Amino acid sequence: MMVDVIRSVTFPFTSVKNFVSFLIFAFLNTLWFFLLPVIIVNGYAVKLIRSAVEGEKDAPAWPGLNLSEWGYILMHGFFYTVAVLIYLIVPFFIAYLGTAGNFSLWLVLLSLLVFLAVIFVLPMALVNYAATESFIEAFNIPEIFRRIFANILQYLLVYAISAALFITALMLSLRMPILAGLILAYPTVFALHAFGQIMAETQ
């Protein structure tokens, strides 16, 4: 069974509920320079991934006044954010070693290779965390690679489309930096939903 790319492309616009949920997500994404909105966005990302894994057609509802749901979003948003930082700190630390003091071209090149490897693996690592709700599973490298290579062609397709959308969004953001968070919300939602579908295929 193939990943339904069109479904992920049109997902925010398939119903009023999905569109409103997307607008809330996009608004919070504009506040990316504050920690709390980032955690909330990432917590909702976990719910969105899980809905895609479970084959839900509608976006997960925002909690409203449900305190337990807000607790879920804040907790998983925090761990999601920490997982991203742990993955990214490795190549940046290597780059720091290569540029601090005596410049080392080899360490800088190594940091670039590690960074490329990290951003290739990171989507499935985050999806693996969201689907299992286990922080440790974000770093279960054998399982993450198993899921990637079980559907490698679909993974590469979704990755390529996500990259193209993000690059386009970044170019638009340079022209309208005040709307950067809003513009980047769409490729983010596409990637979360599409990679969630890939996760469902490997279960």
C-alpha torsion angle, residues 92, 93, 94, 99 (rounded to 10) = 90
99's tokens: 């540029």
Q: State whether residue 57 is helix, strand or coil.
A: coil
Which pLDDT score is estimated for 1? Answer: 57
Residues written for the chain: 203
| pLDDT for the residue 110 | 93
Determine the Cα–Cα distance for residues 62 and 49; give it in Å rounded to an integer. Answer: 14
Tally of CB atoms within 10 A around 99 = 13
Nearest-angstrom CA–CA distance, 127 and 52: 10
- In order, the DSSP letters of 165-180 are HHHHHHHHHHH-GGGH
| 15: containing domain | 5-201
Q: How far apart are the C-alpha atoms of 197 and 1, rounded to whole Å?
A: 10
Output the pLDDT for position 3.
Answer: 79
Q: Digits of tens for pLDDT over the chain (203 positions)? A: 567 889 999 999 999 999 999 999 999 999 988 999 999 999 999 999 999 999 888 899 898 888 889 999 999 999 999 999 999 999 999 998 888 777 788 898 999 999 999 999 999 999 999 999 999 999 999 999 999 999 899 999 999 999 999 999 999 988 888 788 888 999 999 999 999 999 988 76
Contact present, 181 and 29 (Cβ < 8 Å):
yes
How many structural domains is the chain composed of?
Answer: 1
Among 28, 17, 20, 52, CA closest to 127: 52
